[in-house]
Amino acid sequence: MRKKIFISLFFLLGSLSNAAQIDPVSPVKFKQENEYKILSFVKLDKPAEGKLKGFLDGKPCEVISTERPDSFLVWLPMIGDRAVLSIKEGKQKILEQTIVPYIPSDWGYFKNGTIHIIQSSHQDIAWMDTPDYCRKDRIDNIILPALEMMKKNPSFKFEMEQTLNLMEFLEAHPERKEEVAQLYKEGRFTWGATYNQPYEGLSSGEQLVRQAYYGRKWVKENFPGCDDLVANNIDVPGRTWQMPQILAKSGIPNLFVSRMAEGLYDWYAPDGSKVLTFTPGNYGWASLMWKFFDQDAPTALHKLHHRTQLWGDYFKKHAIPPHYAILMSCDATKPVDFQPVIDEWNRIAETAGVELPRLKASTSEEYFEAVRGENTSFRKIEGERPDLWLYIHGPAHYQATAYKREAAVLLPAAEAFTSFCLWEKGKLDTYPRNIFDRAWMASIYPDHGLGGKNGEITDAIFEDSLKVGRDLGQSMLNDALEQIVSEVNTRKGNYVVFNDLSWNRSKWVEVPVSSARALVRDEQGSKVASQVLSDGKGGYRLIFMAENVPSMGYRTYTVKEGKSVKMENQGVSYNSNTLENRYYKAVLGNGGILSLYDKELGKEVMHTSKFACGDVIELGYTGNGAGEFTRITDVTPGDITPLSSMPARWKVSDSGELFTRFVNEQPTKHAVIVQTITFHHTEKKIDFDVTLKDFDGEHNRQYRIAFPVNIMSGADVHYEVPMGVAQVGKDELNIQPGGWAWGGTYVHHPKDSHPREIQNFISASGSGLGVTMSSCVAVADWVDPSREIASYPVLQGVLLSSHKSCHGEGNWYHQKGTHHFHFSLTSHQEGWKKGYQFGVEANHPLFSCRKGNGAGSLPAAQSFLQVSDPFVGVSVIKKTDDGNNLIIRLVEMEGKDKEVEVTLPQEIKEVVRTNLIEEEEERLNLSGKTLRFKIGHHAIETFKLVLK
């Protein structure tokens, strides 16, 4: 007896004395006479006793007997409309049943369209196993076999998702570069327009731009005549707010994602830029579940008819040309040549006598081009899709994340001061691009695949890469600063202090000294506030307040050791647990600050009935940080222990002209928690340092620091994202994402997602009060984590999370040992803008360098670059990759159209607007030392400064 296929392909609509199950035989057998017919297996409810005769719409059809009396075979129409199958036993009609042909004739909007097979292999750097194992697997078992298939079949097409895979392949097989280049030009083997597939909200804005530098830009430089116009970030259910603009202004018009409702969208950035986004719903299901092309063309036609019926109205409504795509991809899937199915499908379509779509092998770039019609109007969406997997990076890999965030500060600073130094010397042609390229790639190398099988190895490699990026950034910055200092006209031994941000800043600087007494003066001879601390090793550390250090420039300071310093702590009083200075009155108690009164605003800043200000909270968390869940896993209800539930013993460790510092050390079940609270006396600022000392790695524990803000209702919460500041409840993706995963559908609305990935700060404002928390960690929250949620915002930094990788054979993120965290807090008038500079500055130290010689022609204080608007940031200033000119990238953060002046130390001959990867777009009528730019709200704009 012949086997039946799994899914019933005809529908029972009616019967007489018998009913039947009717299915094509498996494997499918069909033939073409006047029409296409398919051999079908008929199983009756009741066995027949005599000879059977068949009729189809009254016309005789052959009945082929089988070994069983209750079943037979019959050739039925494969394509067409419904028909009635009648079976007679002698003169008695025992069956009359309406059948629906295996392939319906009505294909609606897609009847003369095209079905595109986009075949790729989703690639984390590791995850399936170690990076080395996965690199070898994708080269030997994916890329090389795909290349061989292309030799045999000129129509075969395949794509990888990122240029990192291409770089790895060429490193292993440099002899095949020309072959790869030719296939790239032919559009048969494409590689993606970004370096890899990151957690977008974890990266800085400039790190996201470098994804395009080492993606599309690298392709164009290394493969002349080739280009890539599709960015892939298939796996991660998260998009950061400005990503559409970053892609669009890098010349990448297309974005391929999944874990989102199937469809085509114009995804807008807040400035109005957009990127055409395609999602198949979930990247792996066509391969794992639906298996459209695993058998034969009739089966593929049968399965796909449903999809075209489902999507016909959508495509028609938006005037999208009738091109439907199927992504055949899964984790590390191997290439498959579907050409036999494609050829068989198209032969059927050409000879069937009804209008059927054609089937073809395509790439995603080819598909994006096909769906853009003259009158097409794609569905418009906008806003941040908060990352659902954010627990996997910062909280579960704190030290690695710290290296990434430090590299994001150091590398732009190193590029800027290296450029200023070499420009001043007339030696821009010696700019060390190769080292900067290596450093940037190291800082963005870890993708979304932390943990996984043998995840301890992967995580160690990722952390080492991020440390390399950080260390190279520090080294390059030190080299540039030392060269500049050697040219500054100041005495040997003096300190030159540098500011990497685009506004004048006042901030502490710390240098080693050998005496407990020291006096600091600036280059004008004015005394500078300072304080000396013991370093605990027999030496001392001098901290002084470097005031008004010029934007992207420096000031010079002289340190005289052994000089007595008169204390000037006017208005400062304190005891073991209270403090008052010009800004605050504070009372410390269990967990942190119990009362914080802002003297300028006349307001109590914190609501401490539940948590203290700076409280450290231990919670239960049983999620896995990443995986197939469709919303962020909540902390365990009721499993919460704040430090405020334990008795504190605060003591003053240091006090002086600059600050007073309180320390509390509290043993807990899994770690000794050391709290350090520092009240600044020369600026409105409180530092909170937390040390988790000797954490034992207990599983499923999470630590947070909490700041319960005294805004009882209607608080606005803002947080910094890459190249923007987003508002909770306003700037999120304006639809439910949809799409599917093993755990269900992504129906949780983005505005309800918390915690969030942040860059430097999160703030809360309302009722005349604003509070900004600057954070060293990458994940923050504002929702009370306890079971009875407070009505006021509780700003939190998520310090640590000791959960397990979601891979079935994955590792635990124990994070045993001692960990240090730093936060800064200020209160201000209502509105995030009042705390914006504070929030950014806290993670940007002033850099000091000691003068090693006694000569120099540069002034003792100087700004290399000034920007007239405090809300227009300089993302980068660097030498152009092509030629000895400069690139400057400006970012409008306030959300307003404006005209801004940029002042430089030397004359600029000409200005050219470029895209983000330095391709020229428009020559501007600008020259001189002061350049006036028009920049739109939320815009990221890049300019080439042509030098004289």
Task: State yes or no: pLDDT of 429 exceeds 80.
Answer: yes
Question: In the structure encoding, which two tokens stand for residue 633, read together?
Answer: 């896993």
How large a percentage of the chain has pLDDT more than 90? 93
Q: What is the DSSP string of 780-833?
A: EE-S--SSS--SS-EEEEEEEE--B-SSTTB-B----EEEEEEEEEEEESSSGG
What is the distance in angstroms between the CA of the first residue and the CA of the last residue of the chain? 87
Distance CA 863, CA 876 (A): 16
CB atoms within 10 A of CB 32: 12
pLDDT at 395 (0 to 100) = 97
Taking only the tens place, the pLDDT of each residue in 667-715 is 999 999 999 999 999 999 999 999 999 999 999 999 999 999 999 999 9
What integer is the mean pLDDT of 433-437?
A: 98
pLDDT at 7 (0 to 100) = 36
Distances (CA, A) of 123 to 44, 449, 621: 49, 9, 29
Taking only the tens place, the pLDDT of each residue in 884-931 is 999 999 999 999 999 999 999 999 999 999 999 999 999 999 999 999
Task: State yes or no: pLDDT of 828 exceeds 80.
Answer: yes
Distance CA 561, CA 852 (A): 18
How large a percentage of the chain has pLDDT more than 70? 98
Task: State yes or no: pLDDT of 654 exceeds 60.
Answer: yes
Q: What is the mean pLDDT of the chain?
A: 95
Residues in contact with 700: Cβ distance below 8 Å, sequence separation at least 6, in sequence order: 620, 621, 622, 636, 802, 803
pLDDT at 565 (0 to 100) = 66
Task: State yes or no: pLDDT of 14 exceeds 90.
Answer: no
Structural contact between residues 96 and 113, judged by C-beta atoms closer than 8 angstroms: no
pLDDT at 855 (0 to 100) = 86
Taking only the tens place, the pLDDT of each residue in 564-591 is 766 667 789 999 999 999 999 999 999 9
* Residue in the block written with tokens 């306890």: 786
Mapping DSSP to helix (H, G, I), strand (E, B) and coil, where does residue 611 land? Answer: coil
Task: State yes or no: pLDDT of 455 exceeds 80.
Answer: yes
Structural contact between residues 901 and 930, judged by C-beta atoms closer than 8 angstroms: yes
Distance CA 243, CA 258 (A): 15
Distance CA 511, CA 542 (A): 5
In one letter, which amino acid is 500? D
Taking only the tens place, the pLDDT of each residue in 522-576 is 999 999 999 999 988 888 999 999 999 999 999 999 999 988 766 667 789 999 9
Distance CA 122, CA 329 (A): 6
Distance CA 357, CA 304 (A): 10
Distance CA 473, CA 940 (A): 23
63 falls in which pLDDT band (50, 70, 90)?
A: very high
pLDDT at 538 (0 to 100) = 85
Q: What is the DSSP letter of 609?
A: S
Number of H helices, E strands in the chain: 15, 59
What integer is the mean pLDDT of 512-516?
A: 93
pLDDT at 3 (0 to 100) = 40
What integer is the mean pLDDT of 221-234?
A: 98
Task: State yes or no: pLDDT of 12 exceeds 80.
Answer: no
Residues in contact with 796: Cβ distance below 8 Å, sequence separation at least 6, in sequence order: 617, 704, 705, 706, 707, 755, 780, 781, 782, 785
User: 359 forms bridges with which residues in the sheet?
Assistant: 115
Residues in contact with 618: Cβ distance below 8 Å, sequence separation at least 6, in sequence order: 640, 641, 642, 668, 669, 670, 701, 702, 703
Mapping DSSP to helix (H, G, I), strand (E, B) and coil, where does residue 155 land? Answer: coil
Distance CA 818, CA 834 (A): 35
Mapping DSSP to helix (H, G, I), strand (E, B) and coil, where does residue 918 land? Answer: coil
Residues in contact with 712: Cβ distance below 8 Å, sequence separation at least 6, in sequence order: 607, 767, 791, 792
Taking only the tens place, the pLDDT of each residue in 579-632 is 999 999 999 999 999 999 999 999 999 999 999 999 999 999 999 999 878 999
Residues in contact with 140: Cβ distance below 8 Å, sequence separation at least 6, in sequence order: none
What integer is the mean pLDDT of 239-244?
A: 98
Structural contact between residues 115 and 84, judged by C-beta atoms closer than 8 angstroms: no
